[in-house]
Structure 1
């Protein structure tokens, strides 16, 4: 099997040297560099080799190489620095990057809050069950949940702090489930939901009574106890009921509203 570099050299020597050919070669160069970033050969914060070195390696001209670099820059995998300290700095993709793109896709499709909440109510209980099934849950899951829960219980009288800590609790469940695919996928949903919930909280959270917030604290404690007991079926069922009740307030009167991937700050 030929290396990406060899493939580029073959293309570069083609007699067809028009703009379309240059663009195709740039895609191949970008793909080779992208793989090095994703495989960790070029780590986060590294500076990719100088242009002259890459031109020699891939046997391409400066224009083609710059097109390849522009592709990676558009994808957010590198940042091009100008001036005396120039160079292209590597950015390894993160779940936050995925969440940003996910939010824009959902925004463009005019997905409603009801739709987003329904997905969250189906997916997060799976993470609760996975947390419950972990043999190391007493050290890998429960300490973090208990620490956030303690701060949340102390914030019952502060609506905005309570909402923030409640979201932190649910994010800790996702982070502790032990399944990286669920962490990334549901992490995107959680991040987008948090943005919508924050907007609602700034407008309406004060209308929710301390008694309702105290109920949320008790239900979180119940979730912690079920996870500690290792009863994944009971924990799953309780998580479904808890999320249905918790979503009732932010969705009330807002469920049909389309998602905003970048809600305005107040």
Structure 2
């Protein structure tokens, strides 16, 4: 299996750093071939021959992809570059560098979620994906036992993930999920008191019904109200954390 293009055009070499050109070529190859997570890329010697570059340049290209979470580099016999694909966690981790350098706080991160997740809910209602039509989103909104903290936390998180994925917009989905991942990395397990969890589940079920019936404006409104209530609770419980600058992960 060779990676196209086999040789780098001389004019391209002058415009861009060679390792970056190779990295982009590998990404195009993975995408065009539909290579799934866990697929091994060609051996180093083969890629050096394909691209006509030195070992150092190829390894720099692979390192670029590894840092961005697109591949993993496994050492030893049977190792080498392996496709990881795209994950919101990788995008979020990369974004935290910009957040830290820009002095972005967790309060700003939560405020961004307040804007974006209601939009995701509206898009989910408008796009009417197969998952929404089949009622699986409504199933994700249901929690059998709100007193079981593990079950409650798992299902509430799953519901938001399901709404985000149902938005049908790759950019909105990626941004929403990555922001949620960055937030949860710092603020884990913030739970409403048991006597308030029923209201949260009811809010999720109402959002799911609005999405299921294709009522985008209502889905957006309900999600915004729900997110605002959660944000107010978090700000009250963790005011110090909200003013912290997001750190590069």
TM-score between both structures, scaled by the size of structure 2: 0.78
Relative to structure 2, which stretch is displaced further, 233-242 or 31-40? 31-40
Q: Contact 1:226/1:235 (CA < 8 Å) preserved in 2? A: yes
**Which residue of the partner structure matches residue 30 of structure 1?**
23
**Greater Cα radius of gyration, structure 1 or 2:** 1
Matched residues in 2 for 1:42 and 1:220: separation? 36
Q: Aligned residue for 1:20?
A: none
Q: How does 1:179-258 map to 2 (within 5 A)?
A: 179-199=169-189, 201=190, 205=191, 208-255=192-239, 256-258=242-244
Alpha-carbon shift at residue 227 of structure 1 (Å): 2.5
Are 1:120 and 2:120 matched, yes or no? Answer: no
Instruction: Classify the secondary structure of the residue corresponding to 2:135.
Output: helix
1:45-194 matched pairs, under 5 angstroms: 45-135=38-128, 140=132, 143-150=135-142, 152=143, 154-194=144-184
CA contact (8 A) 1:6 1:58 kept: yes
CA displacement, residues 60-90 of structure 1 (integer Å, 9 cap, x when unaligned): 3334434433443444333333333243323
Taking a change above 3 Å as real, the CA distance of residues 166 and 47 of structure 1, as seen in their structure-2 partners, is: closer
The answer to whether the 8 A contact 1:30-1:68 is kept is: yes
Question: Which stretches in structure 2 are left out of the alignment for 5+ residues?
Answer: none
Q: How many residues align?
A: 242
RMSD between superposed Cα atoms in Å: 3.2
Supply the distance in 1 between the matched residues of 2:162 and 2:245 (Cα, whole angstroms): 23
